[in-house]
Amino acid sequence: MHKSVDEAITSLHDLSAVDLIAGYRAKQFSPSEVLEDVLAHVAAWEPHLKALYAFDPDSAREVAKASTARWTGGEPSGPLDGVPVTVKDNIATKGVPVPLGAASVKLVPAEKDAPPAARLREAGAVIFAKTTMPDYGMLSSGLSSFHALARNPWDLSKNPGGSSAGAGSAAAAGYGPLHLGTDIGGSVRLPAGWCGLVGLKPSFGRVPIDPTYVGRVAGPMTRTVDDCALMMSVIAKPDRRDGMSLPAEPLNWKGLEKSPRKLRIGLMLDPGCGMALEKPVREVAVKAAKAFESAGSVVTEVDGILTREMLDGLDNFWRARMWDDLAKLTPAEQAKVLPYIFKWGESGAKLSGVDVIRGFNQTMAIRAAASKLFCELDYVISPTAPNVNFPAEWASPINDPMKPFEHIAYTVPWNMSENPAVSINGGFDAKGFPIGVQIVGRRFDDIGVLGMAKAFEGLRGTQRPWPKPPAH
């Protein structure tokens, strides 16, 4: 436990999921008590953050009450019984509409839970809310035409990142320990980096998801690596609805003890294209690499694998894909879309079929480059994002719909290559704003990537306290 058994626990919302389960087992507190503490904390933060959608405390209280009864009887229903959890807007939960962050989407209640939400519920988790996202998940921002503007608890004038924007805000603010996001170009890792969290993009197919798409994964956003692994032990179970999911595999998510000694690590400071790397971010990434070197790793600086042609090709492919969705809307519905997103997507109408195919084929080029890189390396360390932060009101760090992806050069290659990648807080800038470090592993080495993140937690040392709600 973070606090001894004899010490009065005053902040249940700050406890990890691992500690909550231990506390339930020891009968130190109940799921109902934990939920009430989380709800009180949400009430203090949410007017400032706007992180939640479909907030349903009453239903959550009933679920927590049933969980409390099970723990009292010594019969928990699963590994997350009684743990408060949030789920991103675009991951369906039965009976709740899925707006995808866009005012243009019709609000139709979902017929059933999507695979990762179903696994969480089966494991006994208390899903008390969903979290906000930008329009169609195509921004690294908390800006949305449907949801209120999400903000970063470390600095309310700054962006939490996205597209798992509300999840990042909620996790950093202490809305319970476990938060589920999705990632197709960095949408778990970027907000994790900007919010000081652990955010895992698993190997493609490791976590079944519906609907599935090239590069799209669901992954945990937590405060600790152990909590990330605990959540993965639940959501990585098979579901036949995902025809692109990996075969079931008996992975030991508790076996994270890993020595960095003699591991070959590449330090990637220049991704190959995109935004220039800001000095504080560079310093944090270099410090992380030196920490592994001091622990016995063999660290060498490596070139990035992303080219201008690759990034622009992905941009073209995604523009065309976005326009395919937007073109099906009525003019009135189109008018509701965030102008930044509509301007970006509309430009996809001008692309030829050959342009779009050339763009999609860049995913294959990225895969080939990543495979070649990992022939000689065990892991790659890089910044998660090139910049420290950006304004809350902006759609992206550059805020230009014609240059939408200059900030994802460190993250997007690993979606296309299917490698597991985790963002973990590496340090802070001079003003106390968190800076993320990314650790990437070979395809399917999810346990190893989390093991490296766990090792880094020890090498990194004590972090700053989590932000507190503003005084009224």
Residues tagged active-site: 88, 163, 187
Helices 115-122 and 225-235 pack at an angle, to 10 degrees, of 100
Phi, psi of 259 (to 5 degrees): -90, 130
- Longest pairwise C-alpha distance within the chain: 68
Q: Residue 423: which H helix or E strand, with range?
A: strand 421-428
The single-letter DSSP state of residue 140 is: S
CB within 8 Å of 163: residues ≥ 6 apart: 101, 133, 134, 137, 138, 139, 140, 141, 181, 182, 187
Structure tokens at 23: 């506390």
Task: Report the phi/psi class of residue 390: left, alpha or beta, with left for phi > 0 and alpha for psi in -120 to 50.
Answer: beta
Contacts of range 455-458, beta carbons closer than 8 Å, 24 or more positions apart: 455/258, 455/259, 455/260, 455/292, 455/295, 456/288, 456/291, 456/292, 456/424, 456/426, 457/224, 457/225, 457/424
In order, the DSSP letters of 200-232 are EEPSTTSS--SS--TT-EEEEEESSHHHHHHHH
The span from the first CA to the last CA of the chain, in angstroms, equals 31
Q: Tell me, what amino acid is at 226? A: D
Q: Tell me, what amino acid is at 371? A: S
Structure tokens at 394: 């902006």
Measured CA angle at 180 (ends 52, 423), to 5 deg: 110
CB-based burial label for 308 (10 Å; 0-12, 13-18, 19+): exposed
